[in-house]
Amino acid sequence: MIFDENKGMYFPTEDIVNQANVKEYEKLYKYSIEHREEFWAEQAEYLDWFKKWDKVLDDTDKPFYKWFQGGKINIVHNAIDRHLKTANRNKIAVIWEGENGDVRTFSYHALNREVSKFANVLKSMGVKKGDIVTIYMPQIPEQIFAMLACAKIGAVHSVVYGGFSNEALSERIRDAESRVVVTADGGFRRGKVTDLKGIVNEAVVLCPTVEVVITVKRTGHDVYMENDRDYWYHDLESLPIASPNCETEETDANDMLFLLYTSGSTGKPKGMMHSHGGYSVYTSTTHRMVFDIKPEDRFWCAADPGWITGHSYLLYAPLINGSTIFMYEGAPNHPYPNRWWRMIEKYGINILYTSPTAIRGLMRYGDSWVTRHDLSSLRLLGSVGEPINPEAWRWYYKVVGGEKCPIMDTWWQTETGGFMITPLPIMPLKPGSASKPFFGNEISVVNEQHEEVKAGEEGALVIKNVWPGLASGIYKDPEKFVETYWKKYEKEGWYHPGDSARIDEDGYIWVIGRSDDVIKVSGYRLGTAEIESALVSHPLVVEAGVIPLPHNLKGNAIHAFVILKTGTSPSRELETELKEHVVKMMGPIAKPEEIIFSESLPKTRSGKIMRRVLKARALGQDEGDISTLEE
Ligand code: PRX
């Protein structure tokens, strides 16, 4: 790339532009806005449909939009089956490396056999079209086999991140009313065994709907198996019912493909629903265009499949596009901080897609861990999950990418299914800006009066149109979907993402962060209300207020203000106990950085905790308008 010092921008070289799948932005963008439905119908033609749609966009039941209405499709037919009839059949679909050094690879042919076997096992346990299966697994190939197996037979997967606690897991199983849970005995993380089956055992006690737990053996440590409920996958897989042939179900374009729980402003996580048709089209189009996918690429999305990034860009989009995906089980710095760079060299990875937190975490070990490896195979880099600070951007660009790889800083959400704001490899880049709206999207920054703000001014990010990757709703809670995303701009019909941003004179979008009660810690999305209710569930805590404060490595860290029961004295021991209590209730990602014992919390007269005031006080900033403060 070429750096223009005056503009502070990085320009793509001719090579990058010449080989790009999309060579021009403005014209195609204009077309995609003026002919949105035609644009998406053209992209949908890249996929195999059992039956073409009758209507590209059905908006009769706003905001429950239906894309490709009347169409019949299955995402697995596109991610696997259709490749079996081409040269892709013999191509490597998945390369996996375990933290302990195990390596497994699967061609598309082999992937199909594994997924079909898993699908037949699920069927033999009575799983039918529309049933929701909860998957709680480490990052091993069986995790994605299980997801694909559900989709293949028209069942719905609800993947719960393997770092969540038994409480968080059981809450999600109960909401989904899963009858079948798929797990593993454990996984390897920083050289230690994680006891996933033990956590499942505790979680399902509180889930009356669970009848079957299927466990994949990964670590081989001792686990408790309950008679008539728990089955080892390797036992089931060796039975004649687990044939490697299984018909792929013809699902409607708007049939649910998966449910993924995410945090919002209330204490209860929301089950976002995505469906087979629009999601397949949106994720595969964004992946093909933004990551400039070539048939020979080896693509590594370092996210866990337990999050939306893993669903969309580790699993579905790359397989639909016939790529070779790489998947790694463990910690980036195990046994040494060169683990990732060693694997990029070893497997010849072409595209790396990860988070600013991971980049900052590896940056602190110094350049030599990276530069001792030959990373010349890398062609493109990606970032997601939180704003990337220019310092981390430059390190990623210079030390990892060797000053030749454009960085795709992609802004999107669990709700959006795929990239909404992103550069293309042909675009000049500004470190820290996610650049421009992806095709089909009209994105603005507005003030409280819903008017567009001037260039450079901060405001609320809004999306003025709908797109095929948009979630179809919140499971069992349509009102919440309307209230959270559509109420604020009801008159205009805009989508409200909950982020603040500014747009500069060149039309580049700079996302600042969440403007609601959601916080991003190491790129993980958590609700302040969830952490507060975890704290209040401790017998000695009366009230809690949680805020994010800037953190060098994590982006944000959790600071909790806590009021104790009368007669209880604050102590270091109690601080540790409360931190551990949150870990027990939610998982290690929600562990507060600091507990501050307080006598009172700033509240409005209606009793709402003013987190804004807490934050301003902690940062020594102006508290703003506090006229509504009760005390
Ligand atoms: O605040 C934005 C931030 O992550 C939020 C969405 O979180 P989640 O649903 O967990 O999905 C994360 C992965 C897509 C957004 O509301 N965010 C995501 N990507 C970026 C970002 N903030 C700034 N820049 C990004 N590239």
* pTM, two decimal places: 0.97
Cα-based distances in Å from 383 to 309, 361, 378, 484, 508: 11, 14, 14, 26, 16
CA 413 to ligand 1 centroid distance, Å: 5
Q: Provide the pLDDT for residue 622.
A: 85
**Which one of 525, 528, 554 would you pick to mutate in the ligand 1 pocket, going by the greatest count of ligand atoms within 8 A of its CB?**
525
Task: Of 318, 367, 378, give the one whose Cα is nearest residue 343.
Answer: 378
Give the closest residue (by CA) to ligand 1 atom 14: 413
- State yes or no: pLDDT of 272 exceeds 90: yes
Distance between CA 511 and CA 460 in Å, rounded? 10
Helices (H), 46-140: 75-79, 108-124
Ligand 1 atom with the smallest distance to the CA of 514 is 1
Residue-wise pLDDT tens digits, 14-53 = 999 999 999 999 999 999 999 999 999 999 999 999 999 9
Residue type, 193: V
Is 90 exceeded by the pLDDT of residue 607? no
DSSP 427: S
Q: Per-residue pLDDT averaged across 66-85, rounded? A: 98
Are the C-beta atoms of 137 and 183 separated by less than 8 Å? yes
384 within 8 A of 390, measured Cβ to Cβ: no
CB neighbour class for 513 (10 Å; exposed up to 12, middle 13-18, buried from 19): middle
Closest CA to 296 of 324, 325, 318: 324
Mean pLDDT for the stretch of residues 218-238: 97
DSSP states of 444-505: EEE-TTSPBPPTT--EEEEE-S--TTS--EETT-HHHHHHHHTSTTTTTT-B---EEEEE-T
Task: For residue 6, count other CB atoms closer than 10 A to its CB.
Answer: 5
DSSP 398: I
Would the CB of 434 count as within 6 Å of ligand 1? yes
Mean pLDDT of 427-445: 98
**pLDDT number for residue 478:** 97
Cα dihedral 442, 523, 265, 208 sign: positive
Structure tokens at 48: 């195999």
Helix then strand then coil, in percent of the chain rounded to 5, is 30, 25, 45
- What mean pLDDT is reported for the chain? 97
Query: Is the C-beta atom of 517 inside 6 A of ligand 1?
Result: no
Tokens representing 490? 């009801």
Q: How many CA atoms lie within 13 A of 582 on its CB side?
A: 30
Nearest to 182 by CA among 155, 216, 206: 216
Q: Is the pLDDT of residue 460 over 80?
A: yes
The answer to whether residue 631 scores a pLDDT higher than 70 is no
Name 381's bridge partners.
352, 407
- What does the pLDDT average to over 368-394? 97
> Quick one: pLDDT band at residue 392, thresholds 50, 70, 90?
very high
pLDDT tens digits, one per residue of 518-530:
999 999 999 999 9
Distance 385 CA to ligand 1 centre (A): 4
Question: What was the pLDDT predicted at 140?
Answer: 98
Tokens of 61: 């039941």
Residue whose token pair is 């299966």: 133
The average pLDDT across 373-391 equals 97
DSSP class of 126: T
Q: Which amino acid is at 508?
A: Y
Task: State CA 115 to chain mean position distance.
Answer: 22
CA distance 68 to 49: 10
Ligand 1 lined by 425 (C-beta under 6 Å): no
For the Cβ of 410 lying below 6 angstroms from any atom of ligand 1, the answer is: yes
Query: For a pLDDT cut of 70, what percent of the chain falls above it?
Result: 100
Work out the pLDDT band at 561, boundaries 50, 70, 90: very high
